[in-house]
Amino acid sequence: MAIITLLTDFGQSDSYVAEVKAVLLSQAGSVALVDITHQIAPGNVAEGQYLLGRSWRRFPQGTVHLAVVDPGVGTDRRAIAAEAEGHLFVAPDNGILSFLPPPPGAGFVLLRVPPDASPTFQARDVFAPAAARLARGASLLELGPRIADPYRSPLPTVRSDGVALVGAVIHVDRFGTLVTNIPGERVEPGVRILIEDVDCGPLRRTFGDVERGKLVAYIGSDGLVEVAVRDGNAARQLGVGVGTGVRA
């Protein structure tokens, strides 16, 4: 059975997700639909890029990933599909797939926008039909011509200032955990983590290594340095969010 994952900023209070799934179920045949999330902040392409980027490799090869966070819907931004490492992707060409390598490391094609497609709901009328075709076994080149210049807007990378690694918060999860872009493998044991000027202490193993209400820095499940408050909310306690500077 083919697998299609879905990631959008549609939320759950309207019919948008259901309408996209209706197209997939009608056109893809026997398929398993897996919701990564529909709670991306409206129009937040970087958040969608991060969450899809950390999750797609955990699915089997052959999975089709449908990602629609599309503040430019109906404009001249392109609609694309891509293939990398045996996975397939369908998305607007707005940087949400920037975690993929540029061509030739990944293949990209341009999708045709049907003349009767809604200019405000291309997730249903453009992207879902393309994902359904891929799930049925169509090749990437059956969907459109190759392109060599997909729009890229990668998340910020960590740098060294000669004394410490300098990075940033790139995601805040629903628990208020601050996910940074600092790879755990680049951090020395026992190093202290600073969020702006706040010392979050040395790297720990897990939340239970500190008392309730205390800051704890650790290497998260995606291999990046994270900062949390045990039984609390680090983003709220520190008053920070995405883009805040981090040193290790």
The pLDDT tens digits along the chain (248 residues) read: 899 999 999 999 999 999 999 999 999 989 999 999 999 999 999 999 999 999 999 999 999 999 999 999 999 999 999 999 999 999 999 999 999 999 999 999 999 999 999 999 999 999 999 999 999 999 999 999 999 999 999 999 999 999 999 999 999 999 999 999 999 999 988 899 999 989 999 999 999 999 999 999 999 999 999 999 999 999 999 999 999 999 99
Strand-pairing partners, residue 246, are 167, 195
Neighbouring residues of 18: CB distance < 8 A, sequence distance ≥ 6: none
Under a CB-based contact definition with an 8 Å cutoff, are residues 228 and 172 in contact? no
Least Cα distance to 203 among 193, 213, 211 occurs for 193
Look at strands 245-247 and 87-92 and give their pairing. Answer: unpaired
DSSP letter at 123? Answer: I
DSSP string covering 125-178: IIIHHHHHHHHTT--HHHH--B-S-----PPP--EE-SSSEEEEEEEE-TT--E
Residue 134 to residue 39: CA distance in whole angstroms: 25
Residue 5 to residue 10: CA distance in whole angstroms: 14
b/e sequence 41-77, b meaning 16+ C-beta within 10 Å: eeebbbbbbbbbbbbbeebeeebbbbbbbbeebeeeb
Q: Which pLDDT score, from 0 to 100, does residue 190 have? A: 84
Measured at the alpha carbon of residue 205, what is the angle toward residues 220 and 187, in degrees to the nearest 5?
A: 65
Residue 66 to residue 35: CA distance in whole angstroms: 10
Both tokens of residue 76? 């001249």
Name the packing angle between helices 16-27 and 128-135 (round to 10°): 30
Residue-range domains of the chain with CATH: 2-143 (3.40.50.10790), 159-247 (2.40.30.90)
Q: How far is CA 153 from the centre of its chain?
A: 12
